[in-house]
Structure 1
């Protein structure tokens, strides 16, 4: 089965080259036994690869393999994708959303550090388009997220969604808030200044004013960056990559036997004028998005790439050039910085400890209540992702014991008593238990209602990069 789409082109606003060569998207289920193949051909522009990958990951698709070629003024990308259950795509509505999202990217300008999110993502996140964004970054400490959530609740701010990462003792948080008394963005400059001042006080409370920190409130009218990409940017700005350590390989740049760490090597391809970046790491969802994010934000253009996996390890190969400075990587310090930045981008999303999933009625102060339960029980929150679906709040917290001990799964019952709804815990332990999942999972559900758990997905078997793209 093959579904081909040709989007409508508004000839009044599109550039001449895009009118002559509009994007062509093919979604095919017969070409591969285990996955759906998505092919995209179109006029090229800077940042287009990140936009394509962002569309697919925002639709919760697993990219198992990818071939990329974008020399000159044209690009051809091939993505092998499945749904979260590892199945081919059969939903016609989902296929049309993929087409719409991929074709929408052509209308956007340069994908800079303040680029906006694709329209498909805005539709998914709905109410956030009318909320105020709060960004905070700085040194991490136990209880920080709980203190921030409590201040927002006291100030009458309703948190509609929140994302927070921690890495190398640094933290970056993005909250989407609205006025609890009058839903919508907080537009009063005095009110915004009050919120910002209070949060600055929380950040400075334990580390003083000399700490590297940032608290910023913005409204979406001024533009919006994709949330997870913005988290990467905030942590990069705080130089969390400086504490990363590169994995030691052998003399050929390959992994040592038995090593499953992250290894990055950069080699000069003199005949073509490219730098070849090889990345080998543990496989996981959104790995491609995170790697392409850092390359784009460092102002490198990906001309060719091949993404594949072998068992639970992922191999990524990129041929790149700097957008402005063709000699950037001749500097050894710049080369080492890129290696550490790629490692940091891969590590930021990896979380250990107890995974706590909640689903409950959405209400003002909910985030403050949940985080207070964790803080009062000596737990440290390493990662958060929570949002709203209709009248419900749905989210995930990764928590660890502040003293380094095991987290009691009974914390789920305490959270449920405080917030109601359904609370599920998964204990993620850092040892391989099978060839199909790199994590051991211990589950406790405080309600009798069963809930399906999605395991780690393996990418398809290794396949060399091929430039044979089908014609159309």
Structure 2
């Protein structure tokens, strides 16, 4: 009887990839191939979420991704990024290059953006139905509870608010870990968030919109999560992609310029079993991070992608499947992905004026600043608060509640009530709906002119 032979498989075949590429991945940073950008190439064994980790590292270095090609079929991840620094130039700082090389080569990514550090602060997450002055009320409530705000980040979109704040005890400047006190803080903030003047819709959306949670209490939970990713997750949890019927269309995304409207579409690639998601919109920093973050958190795996930007316009194509291996087969699922991607793009687009303020840090400073803004009819639509040494650095995106030009009296009130404070005004870059070109810069011009007259100590905030 003829002997039947089975094919031979080298027992070390499964570890071949690690022996070729090393235990983690191979990273090549090329400054020679392209004249106007640096090329970053990443080859690695693929895993769920790896694309987001790589994009996150580049984003946290404030690099602009002008072009990218992604392929991760057959358990391999191969990616090419064309990146520039904040000034639109190649990467020339060897320290930056070395950091990118090290961060991308590491199997355990470390985030430069702090999320939770138990030895310094306690993190609190808040979600709720937004209303004018809500961020100011939150700041005041924490000050009344003798909490020092070490750092805070807040986004407002489609009448929802998401906020992550890092607080410490006012007297000791140490984390707050007493369960009873934490429960009191949560209860107090929940009361503030529940005090919405009107429901956002007829189906009682407040049931899922309001929430306060002390984050990071279980050991190790959340300490590797990027702050901005967490804000995306919180916004997704309160369904900010469901646009309330009474609010205006998203600002800045449907501008007057032809061809600049945000468009998201989904097509089926039946031969390969993929769904192709196409995104076309106005280009801006961190755009790729926002879209990849949303797809990852919605449990979709990107197998191939092509990203390009030209002339202030971005085009993205993602070939993906759900983590269960299925493509997007139902119209309801496609509609939800489209709405969530549109929301992810809109969240970071802010109409109005960016105010950057620096002052000596003290308890209640943020409460005072936001109160003055609120009393002068200004709405905070986004905020980034941080403590640098003994200074408090605050960045607010504000707009007038009634849509009129800002009353310059609020600047005098701010200077008078808070003492020495440095303020820089940046012009908004997002066109307002149905507004003439000249009005876009009037608020910023007036504020800067007024502040420069008030103080000879005007300094820019880096």
Does TM-score exceed 0.5, indicating one fold?
yes
Corresponding residue number in structure 1 for 2:307: 307
Return the match for 1:199 from 189, 196, 201: 189
Structure 2, unpaired ranges of 5+: 1-14, 250-254, 433-439
- Matches of 1:86 and 1:451 in 2, distance apart? 24
Deviates more, 1:210-219 or 1:409-418: 409-418
**1:330 alignment partner in structure 2:** 329
Tell me whether 335-344 or 180-189 shows the greater mean CA deviation: 180-189
Post-superposition Cα deviations, 1:386-441, rounded to whole Å, max 9, x if no partner, equal 11222222221011111221224664454344153320112326439xxxxxx858
Q: Name the CA shift for 1:332/1:150 in 2 (closer, same or farther; >3 Å).
A: same
- Return the offset for 1:366: 1.6
- Are residue 217 (structure 1) and residue 214 (structure 2) matched? yes
Question: What is residue 359 of structure 2 aligned with on the other side?
Answer: 360
> Aligned ranges for residues 36-435 of structure 1 at < 5 Å?
36-104=38-106, 106-107=107-108, 118-121=109-112, 130-207=120-197, 211=206, 212-219=209-216, 221-224=219-222, 225-243=225-243, 258-327=258-327, 329-408=328-407, 411-417=410-416, 418=418, 420-428=420-428, 430-431=430-431
For the structure 1 residues 88 and 429, does the alpha-carbon distance in structure 2 shift closer, same or farther, using more than 3 Å as the test? closer
| 8 Å Cα contact 1:65-1:81 kept in structure 2 | yes
State the Cα distance separating 1:452 from its structure 2 match: 6.5
Q: Displacement of 1:137 after TM fit? A: 0.8
* Change beyond 3 A, Cα 1:143–1:431: closer
**SS of 1:393's equivalent?**
strand
**Helix, strand or coil for the counterpart of 2:187?**
helix
Describe the shift of the 1:126–1:322 C-alpha distance in structure 2 as closer, same or farther (beyond 3 A). closer
Query: Which one is further off, 355-364 or 194-203?
Result: 355-364
Instruction: Report the Cα distance in structure 2 between the residues aligned to 1:343 and 1:52, rounded to whole angstroms.
Output: 22
After superposition, the C-alpha distances for 1:198-246 in whole angstroms (9 at most, x for unaligned) are 111111223589623111112363422211111111111111112189x
* Offset at residue 362 of structure 1 (A): 2.1
Task: Output the CA distance in 2 between the equivalents of 1:306 and 1:340.
Answer: 21
Alpha-carbon spacing, 1:129–1:281, altered in 2? closer, same or farther (3 Å)? farther
Report if the CA contact (8 A) 1:142-1:402 is conserved.
yes
SS of residue paired to 1:121: coil
Shift of 1:94: 1.2
Bigger shift: residues 420-429 or 281-290? 420-429
For the 8 Å contact 2:358–2:461, the answer to whether it is kept is no
Q: Aligned partners of 1:412, 1:34: CA distance in 2, in Å?
A: 42
Distance 2:169 2:339 in 1: 40
CA–CA distance in 1 between the matches of 2:51 and 2:360?
38
Paired with 1:336 and 1:401, the residues of 2 have a C-alpha distance of 33
Distance apart, 1:144 and its partner CA: 0.8
Report Cα offsets for 1:105-152 as digits up to 9, x if no partner: x23xxxxxxxxxx42425x67967632111111110111111111111
Contact 1:416 1:422 in 2 (8 A): no
Contact 1:263 1:280 in 2 (8 A): yes
Distance 1:125 1:293, change over 3 A: closer
CA distance, structure 1, for counterparts of residue 122 and residue 101 of structure 2: 30
The SS at the match of 1:242 is coil
Give CA-to-partner distance per residue, 1:328-356, whole Å, 9 cap, x none: x1110100110010000000000011211
TM-score between both structures, scaled by the size of structure 1: 0.81
* CA displacement 1:260-304 (0-9 Å, x = unmatched): 111011111112111111100011100000000111011111111
SS across alignment from 1:56:
helix
Asked if the contact 1:132–1:218 (Cα under 8 Å) also holds between the matched residues in 2, the reply is yes
Q: Alignment RMSD, CA only?
A: 2.7
Cα distance in 2 between the residues matched to 1:150 and 1:19? 57
Greater Cα radius of gyration, structure 1 or 2 = 2
Give the count of matched residue pairs: 413
Structure 1, unpaired ranges of 5+ = 1-14, 108-117, 248-254, 433-438, 455-472
